[in-house]
């Protein structure tokens, strides 16, 4: 059986998304040290990822406790996907009803 070659990936993008998922999963926020430990990476490197995610609005840093939290932008991103899915569902429902009536 022929194996397909592994797909090419941008490692830093993958790592950044995993960091974002980790921060989003920390309901009580998370510190640089906790994230660095989870990803086995130096805090100095991690800070570049966190600064990028913060600059694009995906996470926020609470200046009072120093923890990072997922921002509302994540919710907006997820809800836009949900809205498009519901639109497709409505369009498909009409077509499915037509097929049901024709072939039932």
38 and 76 in a single domain? The answer is no
66 and 77 in a single domain? The answer is no
| Contact call for residues 43 and 33 (beta carbons, < 8 A) | yes
The structural domain count of the chain equals 2
- What is the domain extent for residue 88? 72-104
76 inside domain: yes
80 inside domain: yes
Distance CA 16, CA 29 (A): 17
Structure confidence at residue 48 (pLDDT): 96
29 and 76 in a single domain? The answer is no
Each residue's pLDDT tens digit, 3-29: 656 788 899 999 999 999 999 999 999
89 and 66 in a single domain? The answer is no
At what angle are helices 32-39 and 43-55 packed, to 10 degrees?
110
């Amino acid at each position: 059986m022929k194996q397909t070659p592994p797909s090419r990936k941008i490692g830093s993008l993958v790592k950044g998304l995993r960091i974002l998922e980790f921060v989003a999963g920390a309901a009580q926020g998370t510190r640089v040290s906790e994230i660095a430990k989870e990803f086995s990476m130096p805090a100095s490197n991690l800070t570049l990822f966190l600064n990028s995610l913060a600059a694009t609005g995906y996470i926020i840093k609470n200046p009072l406790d120093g923890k990072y939290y997922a921002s509302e932008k994540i919710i907006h991103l997820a809800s836009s996907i949900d809205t498009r899915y519901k639109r497709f569902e409505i369009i498909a429902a009409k077509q499915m009803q037509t097929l049901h009536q024709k072939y039932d």
